[in-house]
Chain A
Amino acid sequence: MDKLDKYFKEQLTDYNPSADEWTIPDEHLYDQAKVYFPKKKKRSFIFWILGLGLLFGGFSLGIYFSLYKTDSLVSDNTVSLIDTHQLISTQSNDEKINEEIIQSKSTIDNTKAKHQTKESYVTLKKESSTYNKSSAVKNETQISSENKITLTQKTSALNIKTSLKNTSAYNTKKQEIIKSENSNTVPTLSQVNRIGLLSGKNRIVEYHRTAPIIKLSSIEVIKKIRPYYKEESGVSHVYFLANFLDEMDLSDESVMELTKFSGKFKNINLNYSKYIHNRWSISSGIYFTQVNIDLNFSVFERFTTEDIDAFINEEFDDITPRASNQNKLVSLLPGANVNEGDLLNLRGDVQLQLQAIQIPILINYHLNKKNLEYLIGGGLALDYVFADQSAIDLEIYKDNARINEPFVQERQKENYLSYSIYFNTGVRYRISPNINVGFQVKLNLNELIFSGLEAGIYYRWNRTY
Chain B
Amino acid sequence: MLSMRYGKNKMQGEDIFQEGMIQIYNDLCQFDSNRSNFSTWSSRIMIHTALRYLKKHNWANSFSDIEESYDLYDSNENIFGQIAIKEMTLMLQKLPLGYRLVFNLYAIEGYSHKEIASQLNITVGTSKSQLSKARKQLRHVLESQLNVSKHG
**Of the 9-residue stretches B61-69, B80-88, B120-128, which lies at the interface with chain A?**
B80-88
Bound-state CA distance A2–B131 (Å) is 11
* Minimum Cβ distance to chain B for residue A39 (Å): 11
Q: Interface size for chain A: under 10, 10 to 19, 20 to 34, or 35 or more residues?
A: 20 to 34
* Minimum Cβ distance to chain A for residue B89 (Å): 7
* Minimum Cβ distance to chain A for residue B31 (Å): 15
The chain B residue with its CB closest to the CB of A38 is B26
In contact, A29 and B17 (Cβ under 8 angstroms): yes
Chain B binding site: helix, strand, loop or mixed by DSSP?
helix
Q: Contacts of B142 on A, CB cut-off 8 Å? A: 4
| Ranked 4 nearest A-B pairs via Cβ | A5-B107, A33-B21, A23-B1, A7-B80
B84, B103, B107, B139: which has the most chain A beta carbons within 10 Å?
A: B107
Question: What are 19 A-B pairs with beta-carbon distances under 8 A?
Answer: A2-B107, A5-B108, A5-B135, A7-B80, A8-B108, A13-B108, A17-B1, A20-B84, A23-B1, A23-B86, A25-B14, A25-B17, A29-B14, A30-B21, A33-B17, A33-B18, A33-B25, A36-B22, A37-B22
In contact, A4 and B25 (Cβ under 8 angstroms): no
Give chain B interface residues in 1-49, CB to chain A under 8 Å: 1, 3-5, 14, 17-19, 21-22, 25-26
Q: Contacts of A23 on B, CB cut-off 8 Å? A: 1, 4, 85-86, 89
Interface residues as binary, A378-422 with B (CB distance below 8 Å gives 1, 0 otherwise):
000000000000000000000000000000000000000000000
* Minimum Cβ distance to chain B for residue A252 (Å): 15
In contact, A12 and B5 (Cβ under 8 angstroms): yes
A-B contact count (CB 8 A): 72
Q: Contacts of B85 on A, CB cut-off 8 Å? A: 11-12, 15, 20, 23
Chain A binding site: helix, strand, loop or mixed by DSSP?
helix
* Minimum Cβ distance to chain B for residue A399 (Å): 12
Given A13-B108, A33-B22, A36-B22, A8:B88 Cβ within 8 A:
yes
Bound-state CA distance A26–B84 (Å) is 20
- Tally of chain B residues near chain A (CB < 8 A): 30
* Minimum Cβ distance to chain A for residue B110 (Å): 8
Q: With an 8 A cutoff between CB atoms, is B75 at the interface?
A: yes
Q: Contacts of B5 on A, CB cut-off 8 Å? A: 12
Across the interface, A37 reaches (CB within 8 A) one of B19, B25, B103, B135, namely: B25
Bound-state CA distance A154–B129 (Å) is 149
* Minimum Cβ distance to chain A for residue B38 (Å): 15
The chain B residue with its CB closest to the CB of A16 is B85
Q: With an 8 A cutoff between CB atoms, is A465 at the interface?
A: no
Q: Contacts of A262 on B, CB cut-off 8 Å? A: none
Q: With an 8 A cutoff between CB atoms, is B71 at the interface?
A: no
In contact, B106 and A5 (Cβ under 8 angstroms): yes
Q: With an 8 A cutoff between CB atoms, is A3 at the interface?
A: yes
Q: With an 8 A cutoff between CB atoms, is A22 at the interface?
A: yes
Q: With an 8 A cutoff between CB atoms, is A463 at the interface?
A: no
The chain A residue with its CB closest to the CB of B132 is A2
Give chain B interface residues in 88-103, CB to chain A under 8 Å: 88-89, 92, 103
* Minimum Cβ distance to chain A for residue B79 (Å): 9
* Minimum Cβ distance to chain B for residue A210 (Å): 69
Given A5-B106, A5-B107, A12:B89 Cβ within 8 A:
yes
Across the interface, A11 reaches (CB within 8 A) one of B17, B75, B88, B135, namely: B88
A3, A8, A9, A25: which has the most chain B beta carbons within 10 Å?
A: A8
A1, A26, A29: which has the most chain B beta carbons within 10 Å?
A: A29
In contact, B108 and A9 (Cβ under 8 angstroms): yes
Q: With an 8 A cutoff between CB atoms, is A32 at the interface?
A: yes
The chain A residue with its CB closest to the CB of B107 is A5
Bound-state CA distance A26–B14 (Å) is 9
* Minimum Cβ distance to chain B for residue A9 (Å): 5
With A33-B18, A33-B19, A33-B22 known, 15 other A-B pairs at CB within 8 A are A1-B107, A3-B75, A4-B75, A4-B107, A4-B138, A8-B88, A9-B108, A12-B88, A12-B89, A20-B86, A25-B14, A29-B17, A29-B18, A29-B21, A37-B25
Interface residues as binary, A26-56 with B (CB distance below 8 Å gives 1, 0 otherwise):
1001101100111000000000000000000
Q: Contacts of A13 on B, CB cut-off 8 Å? A: 108
The chain B residue with its CB closest to the CB of A30 is B21
Bound-state CA distance A132–B137 (Å) is 167
Q: Contacts of A1 on B, CB cut-off 8 Å? A: 107
Q: Contacts of A8 on B, CB cut-off 8 Å? A: 88, 92, 103, 107-108, 138
A9, A12, A13, A37: which has the most chain B beta carbons within 10 Å?
A: A12
In contact, B14 and A4 (Cβ under 8 angstroms): no
Give chain B interface residues in 102-150, CB to chain A under 8 Å: 103, 106-108, 110, 135, 138-139, 142
In contact, A4 and B88 (Cβ under 8 angstroms): no
Q: Contacts of B110 on A, CB cut-off 8 Å? A: 9
